Each structure stands twice: as structure tokens, then as C-alpha cells.
Amino acid sequence: MIENSLSGIVLAAQAFNPSIFTETWLAQNDIVSADDLVGVRVFSPEVAQFQTSEVKVLVIPPRMQILFSTLEVEGDFELPRKIAARTVELLPETPYEALGLNFDYFVSQPEGNEFGAYNRALLGGGDNKLVDEFASQDARFGRYFSKNYGEARLKLNITPVKTGPEKKDLIQFSFNFHHDLVEMKPLKPSEKLREWINTWGAVREYTQQLVEVGSELQERR
């Protein structure tokens, strides 16, 4: 039922230096070759923006953001992790503050189910009196979950959304794994950051498991 999914790695810092990111620097340091770059690209002191057929990268002073589609991947699934880890390896003195590993999944209702009924059965249960107030067929429901996950704080928002040109009703599972370097104060921040970045594959598999469990209707007993 997963119709689309996206992932992102965000490196937050007191100040990135976007001017470092040039086609030559990316190629010389085995981050992205010039032949792999596609579309419009910008390299300036204020912003660096480039993309390949697999990833989109934005670097501005507060952060570096790497976006990647995780559905029907044709290339290197580990490319976002490699770009982030290699950047931190090359720029260890950057005053990094936090890391975000983000995953978004868009789920449709099972075949033969009406979306509103599916949404209510999946997320609109419980003893809260507000559920009774939202009894109409056009009502929509979501949920928020949060817990510690290893050294990260996991936040999961599940919300009904309308996407695409047809404004199709889907349920979005939005995961954020937040690692805070400022709060942790590790002795070697760049090494700790690379350690966290390298959990990307395992975290992705965990989110997929949660989506499979979280989107399945439970049988009434």
C-alpha cells in the first residue's frame, strides 16, 4: 500500500560554508562526479545546490540537506549516507549541532476500503471524547508518537494528506530521528556524527517495519 516514500539526511551547524562545495571539489573528493550531476545547479558563497538522478543536495549556512526517493530505487541506495559521511570526514571542523534522519511514507487504503473508513479504523479509535465529536464521514484522524531510539529521539507523525495532481487521499507516516550534538557534547563530534549517519540503512529498515505494522487494520475481537 506504500505509494511513495522519501528520505532525507539533515546536518545542522552553527555555520556551513557553501562556497566549499563546487563541481571540482565534489569530484576530487569522490562525493559526486561531474558526469553524475543533472539539471540546474548553483554554487555560490551563500548557497550550493546540485542533484543527480538519485539525490538532491542543498547547502546553506544553517544546514546541509540531502533528499532521496526510497521507492523503486534504481541506483545506489546508500548514496545519501555516503555523501553525508564523506562531507563530515572532509569538513570535521565545521561546528555541527545536530543530525536528522528523516523518512516519509505515503500509504493508501487497502483495496475495497473507503479512505475515511480506513482512516477512522486505523487512527480514530480510543476513549477520548473528541472521537465522538468527530463522528461525521468527512472526519480525518492522525496520531503522534515519540520515544528514545538508541542515542536519537524518534518522533513519528501520522496524518491524512492529499497529494499529487489528483489530490489523492493518503496517510503519511513521517519519521524524524534527531541526534543532538550540543546536548551530548562528545569528545570527537565529527566521529560521533559519522557513527550516527552510518545507522541510516538500519533506521530505514526499522521505519519500513513500523509502517507495515502501523498501516495494517487489526481484526476486531
| Per-position DSSP letters for 137-159, written without gaps between them | TT----EEEEEEETTEEEEEEEE
Q: What is the pLDDT of residue 221?
A: 40
Q: What is the pLDDT of residue 73?
A: 60
pLDDT (tens digit, 9 = 90+) per residue, 86-128?
A: 999 999 999 999 999 999 999 999 998 999 999 999 999 877 8
Handedness of CA 129, 133, 135, 138 (dihedral sign): negative
- Write the pLDDT tens digit of every residue in 32-70: 999 999 999 999 999 999 999 889 999 999 999 999 987
Question: Could you give the CA distance from residue 144 to residue 169 in angstroms, rounded to a whole number?
Answer: 19
137 pLDDT band, cuts 50/70/90, is confident
The three cell numbers of residue 99 are 543530525
pLDDT value at residue 72: 63
**How many Cβ atoms are within 10 Å of 85's Cβ, its own excluded?**
19
